[in-house]
Amino acid sequence: MEHIIKMNSCCLALFLGGFLLVAPWSVSGSTEGLKSQINQADQPNASKVFEYQLEGRPDPFLPFISKQVATQKIGADDIVDDDVELTGMRKFEPGQLTLVAVMFANNRALAMVEDVTGKGYVLKEGMPIGKRGVVHAITEEQVTVLETAHTRAGRKLENKIVMRLNKEGDK
């Protein structure tokens, strides 16, 4: 045990001795040299004046989080939207379309729908429609669209939308 203590004190003496050899000031001399070095470091030179440039830098006093984001409450039952580009029939929600006709050819059902401008489109089973919908079934009198959404908690929500074919004389 004494051997370990002697060894540790020996290492400490070597460490301190090496520190004193590397130090830029002399310990044995007066402290005036040290004070003058410190005073010179504290006083800036006239040629090195610091000037803060605002251009291209963000304002350091603006908060990182806006008030709208900070006050917005995020619930576990909020629906998470997929970041998918909406093309084709995905641009239309089922409520924006009117079912005009249903056709059957070669054991395959097709439905014709119109948008509010009168432009017609063809729907097939399995075709995506709207943000979250898929054409689930086409029968003689209706088209069923199944919308599926997921919440932040991972719960699956399903909504069934029925588009009915207007009979003659119905509006």
Chunk the chain into consecutive blocks of 10 residues (it has 171) and report each block's average pLDDT, rounded to whole numbers.
Answer: 52 54 50 60 64 81 73 70 78 90 90 92 92 92 91 87 81 59
* Neighbouring residues of 156: CB distance < 8 A, sequence distance ≥ 6: 148, 149, 150
Residue 10 belongs to some domain of the structure: no
pTM equals: 0.53
Amino acid 49: pLDDT: 83
Amino acid 112: pLDDT: 94
Residue 37 belongs to some domain of the structure: no
Instruction: In whole angstroms, give the CA distance from residue 113 to residue 127.
Output: 13
Closest CA to 157 of 168, 165, 147, 169: 147
Instruction: In whole angstroms, give the CA distance from residue 138 to residue 135.
Output: 8
Residue 17 belongs to some domain of the structure: no
| Structural domain total, the chain | 1
CA distances in angstroms from 157 to 1, 127, 137, 152, listed in the order given:
72, 19, 19, 11
Residue 18 belongs to some domain of the structure: no
Residue 20 belongs to some domain of the structure: no
Q: What is the DSSP code string of 106-151?
A: TTEEEEEEE-TTS-EEEEETT-EETTTEEEEEE-SSEEEEEEEEEE
Amino acid 134: pLDDT: 93
**Range of the structural domain that residue 71 is part of:** 48-171
CA 102 to chain centre: 42
The alpha-helical segments, DSSP class H, found in the chain are 2-22, 32-42, 67-71
* Neighbouring residues of 85: CB distance < 8 A, sequence distance ≥ 6: none
Report the CATH number at residue 99: 2.30.30.830
Residue 35 belongs to some domain of the structure: no
Residue 164 belongs to some domain of the structure: yes
